[in-house]
Amino acid sequence: INNPTVGLVLLVIFIVIWMMTKKKAQRQATDTTYINQQVQQQADSDIVMDYTNIVAEKVRAIDPNFSSDKFIGFAREVFMKIQEAWTAKDWKVIRPFESETLFNQHKQQLDEYIRLGKTNVVEKIGIKHCSLRSFMQDGDKEVLTVWINAIMRDYVIDDETKRVLESDPNRDWYMRYEMVVNRKAGLKTDPGKKGNTITNCPNCGAPTEITSSGQCAYCGSVITNGEHDWVLTDIHSRS
């Protein structure tokens, strides 16, 4: 540009546009309404390959009464119970669904929040996708993997003051999880059973009251070890 005046005007225009763009980006970065809209768009546009039918056929080849619909319903139920129990800091309600190792791991993490006087609140959960991902036989056990995608709010508060310590209670997060469940090889689905929820001890028939070691409170039989039904052995976020 040969004319210095024109060059100066263009420079000023460029700086103004740059500053306006920067301010807009800063506003959007803290505007939860905008963020939540973006999160929703991300969830709606996320492409997840659904292998449910393929996986279900593999399971039914050795367990003809297996129902993918019932199992996905069970997986969704367990996922929701985990989030609710975590927020309520009452992990015993999830004991019937988890292996001893996973239960102790989660309980230890939760006990640390209790010790610090904090609560990790997970709420406003909306499951966007739930499907069977894989199935395999590994020695004396069968392993089934489930993928769950959900939108939720996740933040930490001080128990005494209720002050928010981490994250934003008005901000949505889009999360992808993988759940792994095991059972003893050769077990078959009971067609008369509603879903996969344990309601009675398989050994003595008593109503489900499971101790912290996964035992029936009445007869002492270990229930949550995959010997009687599917049990959650791992749940973690995935990319």
CA distance readout (Å), 188 to 62, 205, 209, 214, 230: 8, 18, 23, 21, 10
Average pLDDT over residues 72-85: 94
H or E stretch at 132:
strand 118-138
What tens digit of pLDDT does each residue of 181-202 get?
999 999 999 887 655 454 555 5
In this prediction, residue 91 carries a pLDDT of 84
Contact between 81 and 196 under an 8 Å Cβ cutoff? The reply is no
**Range with the lowest mean pLDDT among 46-55, 82-91, 130-139, 199-208?**
199-208
Contact between 228 and 200 under an 8 Å Cβ cutoff? The reply is no
Q: State the CB neighbour count (10 A cutoff) for residue 112.
A: 10
Q: Band of the pLDDT at 94, cuts 50, 70, 90? A: confident
What tens digit of pLDDT does each residue of 49-73 get?
999 999 999 999 999 999 999 999 9
What tens digit of pLDDT does each residue of 9-35 get?
777 888 877 777 777 666 665 689 999
Q: What is the pTM of this model?
A: 0.78
Structure tokens at 185: 């090889």
pLDDT exceeds cutoff 60 at 212: no
CA dihedral angle for residue 163, residue 168, residue 170, residue 175, rounded to 10 degrees: -130
